[in-house]
Amino acid sequence: MPHWLVIDLEATTEEGGWPVAEMEIIEIGVTLVNKDGRELDHFERFVRPVRRPLLTSFCRELTHISQANIDSAQPLTTVWPQFERWLGNHLPRVEGWASWGDYDRRQLEQEWQHHALISGLSTLTHINLKQRFIEARKLSRPLGLNAALQLAGMQFQGQQHRALADARNTARLLPLIPPR
């Protein structure tokens, strides 16, 4: 049976947001799910940013990630190989990966290039579930994850703007989005 990865990232930012080129990953959350959206395994790590290692107060308040979490984390060049080892155990059964919106894909591609990292994810199809949800529901504008869950009759579970919780909640919408 094919499985899917649902990935969510948290990154450095300031109120009003920074361009992707200035953001760095501070948390990776991945859930491996079956076609029904049931979690089979997960991966979660904090990541220490290199260019801006001090989180802004806005970022700390939004994500509930403390400076201590980040100070004790390893850089992406150490965390990413850990993810790839985890992914390697599942890759033969993974059909593709998804995220809520296109930000996560763009951020990962930028970080891979910046740090000269290679990823098994690059061989997989990526689905922008936010776009698919808009199309499936024939909505006139995109919705945030929490609003999409509410429209689907679900409540957000866990802490919003935390990578694994966001990935798990996104995965709950996966069965509602028809394949192309």
pLDDT digits (tens, 9 = 90+) for 41-52: 999 999 999 999
Helix residue ranges, H only, the chain: 57-63, 67-71, 76-90, 103-115, 129-137, 145-151, 163-173
Q: Please list the residues that pair with 28 across neighbouring strands.
A: 9, 45
Q: Pairing state of beta strands 94-99 and 3-11?
A: parallel
Report whether 39 contacts 33 (CB < 8 A).
Answer: yes
Instruction: Please name the residues in contact with 1: beta carbons below 8 A apart, sequence gap of 6 or more.
Output: 34, 35, 93
Rounded Cα–Cα distance for residues 177 and 34 (Å): 14
Specify the CATH superfamily of domain 3-176. Ribonuclease H-like superfamily/Ribonuclease H (3.30.420.10)
Q: What is the pLDDT of residue 179?
A: 65
Report whether 27 contacts 162 (CB < 8 A).
Answer: yes
Mean pLDDT of the chain: 95
In this structure, the chain runs to a length of 180
pTM: 0.96
Rounded Cα–Cα distance for residues 47 and 76 (Å): 6
Rounded Cα–Cα distance for residues 111 and 80 (Å): 10
pLDDT digits (tens, 9 = 90+) for 102-159: 999 999 999 999 999 999 999 999 999 999 999 999 999 999 999 999 999 999 999 9
Domain locations along the chain: 3-176
